[in-house]
């Protein structure tokens, strides 16, 4: 018996260290490039045995190679199928086997329901989860001058297709507008979407990525207004288009919703705000972003 006790004493630290390694890290990368990760986040990445980059709810403007060079880790791309359908096998199983696993998320890890679902599944498997936050578009939109506590429900705008033009988001814009609140519109991203016409021939081919721009979103909002006609997003309402928030070349343009249809916002990612009631301080801050000849400025002098 004594030699058994001595054996367990000698191996206790090894056992505990192995148990402590079994962590799933969800790490926010911020909005810019490889350098936007926090110090705490970088420490966590470098402690991990397996590192995934979630690559379908948002994008960074740097490629995987740059991240690997900066983080000094091999990174595996996690597409929608990996995170939503194969996470138990590819992401959670290594953690259950005693490895540190990181899922890198552009922005902040708790801004998408996909990541919440992954946390719940990890909890059900008894896997400790550690969140490491970072900047996200949900806060960065304040750069346009609108105050964050004046925002209501956030909506997502999907690409309209020929036979599928959903406008369920309209009621939320109307609800926010009735309460004097601004509406942040997150715009659709299509990554690794299969070409269904080619799939009918028995082959799987993915279409090029598509990122909705402010121009398309504004057109679709105007179409939704024509359908519902309740004044939530009229052509003369004040709106703000934003692109590449948190990056050196970020672009912010304010004007009427109709005017934003023809503005150049450059490369993705884009987002859009439908303004509610604006305070004097908000308008003063937004002057620098207002289209010089905006109809909104002329009407509201």
Q: Is the pLDDT of residue 16 over 50?
A: no
CB 121 within 8 A of CB 95: no
pLDDT at 300: 65
Give the CA diameter of the chain: 90
Among the ranges given (35-39, 104-108, 193-197, 223-227), the one the predictor scored with the smallest mean pLDDT: 193-197
pTM of the model: 0.88
Looking from the CA of 74 toward its CB, the CA atoms found within 13 Å total 3
Query: Between these two residues, 82 and 43, which has the higher pLDDT value?
Result: 43
Among the ranges given (166-175, 194-203, 219-228, 275-284), the one the predictor scored with the smallest mean pLDDT: 194-203
Looking from the CA of 88 toward its CB, the CA atoms found within 13 Å total 4
Paired strand residues for 129: 24
Q: Is the pLDDT of residue 113 over 90?
A: no
Span 59-70, mean pLDDT?
A: 91
pLDDT at 173: 98
Q: How many helices (H) and strands (E) does the chain have?
A: 14, 12
């Amino acid at each position: 018996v004594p030699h058994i006790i001595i054996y367990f004493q000698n191996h206790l630290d090894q056992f505990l260290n192995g148990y402590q390694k079994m962590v799933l890290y969800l790490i926010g990368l911020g909005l810019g490039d490889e350098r936007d990760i926090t110090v705490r986040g970088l420490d966590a990445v470098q402690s991990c045995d397996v590192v995934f980059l979630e690559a379908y709810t948002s994008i960074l403007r740097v490629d995987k190679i740059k991240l690997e060079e900066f983080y000094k880790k091999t990174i595996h791309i996690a597409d929608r199928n990996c995170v939503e359908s194969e996470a138990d096998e590819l992401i959670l199983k290594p953690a259950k086997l005693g490895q540190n696993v990181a899922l890198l998320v552009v922005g902040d890890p708790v801004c998408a329901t996909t990541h919440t679902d992954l946390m719940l599944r990890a909890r059900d498997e008894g896997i400790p989860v550690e969140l490491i936050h970072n900047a996200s578009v949900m806060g960065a939109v304040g750069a346009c001058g609108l105050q964050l506590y004046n925002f209501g429900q956030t909506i997502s705008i999907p690409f309209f297709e020929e036979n599928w033009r959903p406008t369920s988001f309209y009621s939320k814009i109307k609800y926010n507008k009735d309460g004097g609140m601004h509406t942040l519109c997150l715009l659709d991203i299509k990554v690794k979407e299969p070409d269904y016409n080619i799939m009918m021939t028995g082959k799987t081919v993915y279409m090029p990525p598509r990122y909705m721009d402010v121009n398309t979103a504004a057109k679709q909002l105007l179409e939704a207004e024509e359908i519902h006609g309740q004044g939530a997003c009229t052509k003369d309402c004040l709106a703000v288009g934003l692109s590449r928030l948190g990056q050196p070349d970020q672009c912010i343009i304010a004007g009427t919703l109709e005017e934003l249809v023809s503005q150049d916002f450059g490369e993705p990612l884009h987002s859009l705000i439908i303004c509610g009631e604006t305070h004097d301080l908000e308008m003063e801050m937004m002057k620098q972003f207002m289209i010089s000849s905006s109809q909104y400025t002329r009407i509201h002098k």
